[in-house]
Amino acid sequence: MNKKTMSAIHTNITDSKDKLMEEMKLVVADAEELLRATANQAGEGAASARARIQESLQVAKERLMIEAGDSAIERTRQAAKDTDQYVHDNPWQAIGISACVGAIVGMLIARR
């Protein structure tokens, strides 16, 4: 497989993972809403069930946050690898782009 195909596969996997993360966040939010709605239900069984669910939701939220952080780190690493590859494949274009960006930033700073 060439690099473009691998990159496309990686992008599809990342997109699927991001969609799953969003869906899990919605499930957690819905479960929290359900807990709030049933907060005034009486009974020892209901109270212990709510406590277990709240604990499980807290663990799920923590895992989601860790996974979201890992996903962001992975995307950043992939972007850095892609940029590095582009610079190696097209050094003069990279120099030209950098010079243009530097000139624009310089003009913006000079305006102050």
pLDDT in tens, 41-98: 667 766 777 777 777 777 777 777 777 777 778 888 888 888 888 888 888 988 998 9
In one letter, which amino acid is 87?
V
Specify the 3-state DSSP secondary structure of 14.
Answer: helix
Token digits of residue 100: 């243009």
Handedness of CA 17, 22, 26, 31 (dihedral sign): positive
For residues 90 and 80, give the distance between their C-alpha atoms in angstroms, rounded to a whole number.
15
Q: Do the Cβ atoms of 58 and 39 come closer than 8 Å?
A: no
Specify the pTM. 0.44
